[in-house]
């Protein structure tokens, strides 16, 4: 922190963690069975391959492979020509990304502002966090040592911009007296430009960042483009994009650190209930309740196990929060394994809303019934899945199948105005069950511009004894294409009828298109069933 004219200017500090052998380390740590088997029977250097334009090419190479000249991008045939006894594994970028995100969640113990940095690294904004660990260098050393203890090979660097930290962690430079000198000694490949641009810079005699920094910006832009100038300024700290953390800043965050790791998940949940009570007190002071809660179990090996629950109404009751957390744990296919123990717990409230105090006895129990229904929705959503329990929300559309939208029941309720169904004693205008899409029917006896007298649906014949209609629903003319029932480019008019067959069953059917004007032989569809 530097002061000038009573104005405080904070210097941002970033820690970059680079994993040069991430895919191979993941296989060795997460898939020991596959690693010990020795893919393809080889016992030499380990490589990861992926298909690229019809050829198998190397996506990752371990340290032993690099020493014999294997490089990413090389074909598998060329690699086998150099070393026949290769340990070959198939690339799995989704698993690598999931592993990287879990490592990112684990680094939240050092700073709340952590984000993946490409496909092989993490970026941590450690501004104001270094003093908690005895300095930023001590923080970086502790983070790297924790990851290395569990088999990950990691490089790290600290700089005043994310771009500089990213480059210093991936490109070795000669010893330098300070950070600025180290950045200027980086090779031009550290700019992150396309390969053709890097070759052009080297051909022009510009081999390190310091050579580019000595040139006027206008000259550099004229010869190599604005991208080179922007990348240079980012490395020198003259301008960079802010870091976008993987987790947004929560409304409430509570941490618990333990001198001795907790070896029991049940005991960790008891500590979590105390943390939930403290979070409820903080929310009560602000007159709010939480809608989204996340508990993170930080394991001593650097991994983190997040548990997220969501409620349909704002809550701040600790037992209710813990019940949902236990439901989430019971629903996990892979139970939480404490391993060598949890050395830290974190509870965050990522979304909070206004929660006014209520007096249930004076309100006749209405709030209690609403809360009980909301609690049931929350528990069912956790057990069955967030998208399985749904509610209907009205939409401003006169097309029947588009007049309502099914949303997860735990999402925020926005008040909407449903169309008036008429008088209580009147028959319903719309069916209780709606088919989407409508199901075609075969009309056996019909009258032009009138309802059918007999139709076949699902191989059963139905004789119509009573009908009411038509109710004409025009297409949405402002849409160029409506993706109609028969694939037409322009929407057609629908004439709806409420009909009753000889057995008293009521249906909602419609003719799709006007005779002559829109279709020579309009089709018929059944759209819904009445009670």
Nearest to 298 by CA among 341, 267, 237: 341
What pLDDT was estimated at residue 2? 43
Tens-binned pLDDT, residue by residue, of the chain (531 aa): 444 444 444 578 999 999 999 999 998 888 777 776 655 555 788 899 999 888 899 999 998 899 899 999 899 999 999 988 888 898 999 999 999 998 888 888 888 889 999 889 999 999 888 888 888 999 999 999 988 887 889 999 999 889 999 999 999 888 888 888 898 999 988 888 888 888 888 888 888 888 888 888 888 888 888 888 888 888 888 876 778 888 778 889 999 989 888 988 889 999 999 999 999 999 999 889 898 999 999 888 777 888 889 888 888 889 989 988 988 888 777 778 888 889 899 999 988 888 876 655 444 444 455 567 777 888 888 777 777 888 877 777 778 877 777 888 877 666 656 666 556 666 678 888 888 889 999 988 777 778 888 999 998 999 999 998 888 888 877 664 544 555 443 478 899 999 999 999 999 999 988 877 788 788 899 999 996
Q: What is the distance of C-alpha 91 from the center of its chain?
A: 22
Give CA separation, 144 vs 101, 140, 149, in Å: 16, 6, 9
pTM above the 0.85 mark? no
What pLDDT was estimated at residue 155? 93
What pLDDT was estimated at residue 141? 92
Dihedral pair phi/psi, residue 199, rounded to 5°: -65, -40
On the 0-12 / 13-18 / 19+ scale of CB atoms within 10 A, 430 is middle
Nearest to 434 by CA among 523, 511, 504, 509: 509
What pLDDT was estimated at residue 1? 43
Q: What is the distance of C-alpha 36 from the center of its chain?
A: 33
On the 0-12 / 13-18 / 19+ scale of CB atoms within 10 A, 27 is buried
What is the β-pairing status of strands 304-315 and 288-299?
antiparallel
What pLDDT was estimated at residue 366? 46
Q: End-to-end CA distance of the chain, in Å?
A: 72
Nearest to 348 by CA among 248, 478, 230: 248
Nearest to 247 by CA among 50, 104, 78, 385: 104
Beta bridge partners of 512: 494, 523
What pLDDT was estimated at residue 455? 92
What pLDDT was estimated at residue 37? 60
Under a CB-based contact definition with an 8 Å cutoff, are residues 122 and 115 in contact? Answer: yes
Alpha helices in 38-161 (DSSP H): 63-67, 76-82, 93-106, 136-149
């Amino acid at each position: 922190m530097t002061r000038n004219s009573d104005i405080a200017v904070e210097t941002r500090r970033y820690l970059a963690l680079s994993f040069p052998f991430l895919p191979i380390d993941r296989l060795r740590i997460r898939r020991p069975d596959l690693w010990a088997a020795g893919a393809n029977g080889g016992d030499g250097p380990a490589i990861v391959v992926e298909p690229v334009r019809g050829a198998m090419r190397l996506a990752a190479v371990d340290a032993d492979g690099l020493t014999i000249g294997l490089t990413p991008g090389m074909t598998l045939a060329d690699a086998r020509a150099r070393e026949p006894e290769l340990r070959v594994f198939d690339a799995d970028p989704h698993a690598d990304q999931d592993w990287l995100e879990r490592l990112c969640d684990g680094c939240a113990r050092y700073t709340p502002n952590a984000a993946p940095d490409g496909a092989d690294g993490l970026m941590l904004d450690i501004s104001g966090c270094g003093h908690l660990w005895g300095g930023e260098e001590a923080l970086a050393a502790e983070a790297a040592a924790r990851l290395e203890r569990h088999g990950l090979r990691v490089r790290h660097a600290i700089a005043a911009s994310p771009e500089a930290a990213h480059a210093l962690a991936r490109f070795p430079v000669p010893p330098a007296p300070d950070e600025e000198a180290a950045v200027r000694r980086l090779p031009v490949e550290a700019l992150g430009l396309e390969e053709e641009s890097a070759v052009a810079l080297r051909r022009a005699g510009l081999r390190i960042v310091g050579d580019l920094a000595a040139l006027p910006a206008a000259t550099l832009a004229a010869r190599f483009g604005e991208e080179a100038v922007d990348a240079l300024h980012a490395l020198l700290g003259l301008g960079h994009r802010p870091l976008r953390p993987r987790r947004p800043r929560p409304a409430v965050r509570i941490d618990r650190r333990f001198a001795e790791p907790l070896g029991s998940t049940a005991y960790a949940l008891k500590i979590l209930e105390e943390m939930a009570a403290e979070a409820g007190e903080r929310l009560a002071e602000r007159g709010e309740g939480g809608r989204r809660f996340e508990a993170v179990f930080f394991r001593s090996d650097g991994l983190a196990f997040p548990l997220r629950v969501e409620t349909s109404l704002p809550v701040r009751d600790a037992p209710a929060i813990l019940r949902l957390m236990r439901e989430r744990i019971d629903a996990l296919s892979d139970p939480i394994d404490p391993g060598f123990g949890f050395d830290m717990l974190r509870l965050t409230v990522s979304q909070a809303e206004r929660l006014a105090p209520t007096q249930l006895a004076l309100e006749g129990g209405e709030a209690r019934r609403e809360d009980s229904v909301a609690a049931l929705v929350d528990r069912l959503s956790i057990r069955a899945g967030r998208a399985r329990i749904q509610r209907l929300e009205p939409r401003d559309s006169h097309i029947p199948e588009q007049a309502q939208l099914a949303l997860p029941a735990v999402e925020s309720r926005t008040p909407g105005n449903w169309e008036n169904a008429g008088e209580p004693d009147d028959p319903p205008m719309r069916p209780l069950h709606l088919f989407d899409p409508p199901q075609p029917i075969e009309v056996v006896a019909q009258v032009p511009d009138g309802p059918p007298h007999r139709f076949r649906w699902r191989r059963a014949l139905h004789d119509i004894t009573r009908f009411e209609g038509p109710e004409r629903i025009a297409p949405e003319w402002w849409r160029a294409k409506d993706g109609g029932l028969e694939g037409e480019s322009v929407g057609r008019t629908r004439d709806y009828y409420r009909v009753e067959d000889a057995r008293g069953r009521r249906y909602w059917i419609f003719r799709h298109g006007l005779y002559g004007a829109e279709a020579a032989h309009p089709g018929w569809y059944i759209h819904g069933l009445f009670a």
